[in-house]
């Protein structure tokens, strides 16, 4: 029986790095190396005009190569920045293998600092964020059951093969082990976590936030998305 569209990982185009204005490994001030690429409207133009820069963040064990469609769509009007988190895609894991979300956030902010970007669309220094598949508490998202889904197994198998292609001869299991451990302990956010985040309608300078879900999304149950919206005081639309 043929799989339905949402039961498998769809094909996607790779990034066309020939279109990148800049690309490569960048050593950040705190010593971490991050691979990144910049596309679209030249950064100096959007900085001078004060217009929006878009940063595309990836999920677990994926990499920026998954954003071919999004870069093609956004780059005619925006500066688009892609980068690979530590141990993902073309970015090495490095010696610090105790991964936390705070450290990953520090990497992102350091990257923005290198290019003197005061604010971007992506919680801090954010103009707007489109969050797809976000979770608030690693103990409440039915992770063990999700791991058994055929679509999840297919995705992880595909992503591991891609990582090995980008990093030949290396051990993918050891590379991603710090993340497997991270996902068992973080995040554990509550309303207290976001109590100081301003809300649109109450503060004109507050970030615009979308907490998005998809039809037939077995990875992220509806109750998780609803809870994340509630923590951020976002009304469902």
Q: Does residue 207 form part of some domain?
A: yes
Bridge partners (DSSP) of residue 37 are 23, 82
Please, which residues have CB within 8 angstroms of residue 218's CB and are 6 or more apart in sequence?
Answer: 6, 146, 149, 151, 152
**Is it true that the peptide bond before 13 is cis, omega within 30 degrees of 0?**
no
From 1, 6, 2, 8, select the one nearest 157 (Cα to Cα).
8
What CATH number is attached to the domain comprising 111? 3.40.50.1820
pTM for the whole structure: 0.85
Total structural domains in the chain?
1
Quote the domain boundaries for residue 78: 14-231
Q: Does residue 39 form part of some domain?
A: yes
Residues 136, 101: contact at Cβ < 8 Å?
Answer: no
Q: Does residue 111 form part of some domain?
A: yes
Q: What are phi and psi of 182, to 5 degrees?
A: -60, -45
Instruction: Express each pLDDT in 35-72 by its tens digit.
Output: 999 999 999 999 999 998 999 998 889 999 999 999 99
Length of the chain: 237
Residues 70, 123: contact at Cβ < 8 Å?
Answer: no
- pLDDT number for residue 87: 97
Q: Does residue 20 form part of some domain?
A: yes
Residue 11 pLDDT exceeds 80: no
Residues 211, 188: contact at Cβ < 8 Å?
Answer: no
Q: Does residue 135 form part of some domain?
A: yes
Tokens of 17: 């790095």
Listing DSSP states for 110-125 in one string gives HHHHHTT---EE---S
Instruction: Express each pLDDT in 178-236 by its tens digit.
Output: 999 999 999 888 888 888 888 877 888 788 888 888 887 777 878 888 888 888 776 54
Q: Does residue 141 form part of some domain?
A: yes
**Which spans in 75-149 are helix H?**
101-114, 143-147
Q: Does residue 210 form part of some domain?
A: yes
SS3 162: helix
Instruction: Express each pLDDT in 78-129 by its tens digit.
Output: 999 999 999 999 999 999 999 999 999 999 999 999 999 998 988 455 778 8
Stretch (H or E) spanning 84: strand 79-84
Residues 231, 136: contact at Cβ < 8 Å?
Answer: yes
What is the torsional sign of CA 198, 105, 193, 122? positive
The alpha carbons of the chain give a radius of gyration, in whole angstroms, of 18
Q: What is the longest distance spanned by two Cα atoms in the chain?
A: 55
Residue in this structure with the two tokens 């051990």, named with its chain if needed? 171
Q: Does residue 7 form part of some domain?
A: no
């Amino acid at each position: 029986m043929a799989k339905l569209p949402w039961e498998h990982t769809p094909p996607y185009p790779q990034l066309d790095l020939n279109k990148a204005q800049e690309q490569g490994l960048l050593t950040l001030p705190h010593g971490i190396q991050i691979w990144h690429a910049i596309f679209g409207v030249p950064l100096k133009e959007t900085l001078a005009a004060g217009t929006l820069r878009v940063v595309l963040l990836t999920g677990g064990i994926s990499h920026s190569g998954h954003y071919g469609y999004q870069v093609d769509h956004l780059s005619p009007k925006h500066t688009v920045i892609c980068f690979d988190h530590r141990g993902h895609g073309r970015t090495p894991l490095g010696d610090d293998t105790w991964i936390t979300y705070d450290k990953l956030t520090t990497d992102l902010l350091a990257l923005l600092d290198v290019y003197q970007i005061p604010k971007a669309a992506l919680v801090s220094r954010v103009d707007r964020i489109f969050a797809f598949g976000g979770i608030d508490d690693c103990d409440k998202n039915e992770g063990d059951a999700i791991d058994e889904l055929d679509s999840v197994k297919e995705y992880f198998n595909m992503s591991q093969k891609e990582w090995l292609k980008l990093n030949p001869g290396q051990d993918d299991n050891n590379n991603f082990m710090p993340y497997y451990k991270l996902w068992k302990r973080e995040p554990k956010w509550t309303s207290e976590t976001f109590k100081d985040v301003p809300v649109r309608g109450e503060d004109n300078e507050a970030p615009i936030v979308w907490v998005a879900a998809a039809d037939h999304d077995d990875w992220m149950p509806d109750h998780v998305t609803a809870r994340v919206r509630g923590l951020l005081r976002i009304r469902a639309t």
